[in-house]
Amino acid sequence: MNSCGNDDDDLGGGDTYCWEFRVTQVTSVVGTSVPGYPQTVTSTTSQCGLTEAQANEVVKGLTTESTSSASGITVKIKTTATKTKK
């Protein structure tokens, strides 16, 4: 646990840390087989100066799921995020 400082903030204040966020996006075609799908893209980024509550809000904001249909094809995009304290 490396502390990056100690700030008071809107999410309760407290110790701030450096966090690594891993974001995974999976794009899939629903109900049919399409070559090359599902596709998965993963990225990692780091940010310092966040409390755990703020880091949880980042994860919550990055985690989404959507479905879209056009011309009889349905595409589902699911994005998930995880955090690790550095």
What string of pLDDT tens digits covers the 86 residues of the chain? 444 544 444 555 789 999 999 999 999 999 889 999 999 999 999 999 999 999 999 999 999 999 999 999 999 999 999 999 99
C-alpha of 57 from chain center: 10
Its pTM stands at 0.78
- Domain hosting 50: range is 3-85
| Overall domain count for the chain | 1
Q: Which of 68, 64, 48, 43 is nearest to 7 (CA)?
A: 48
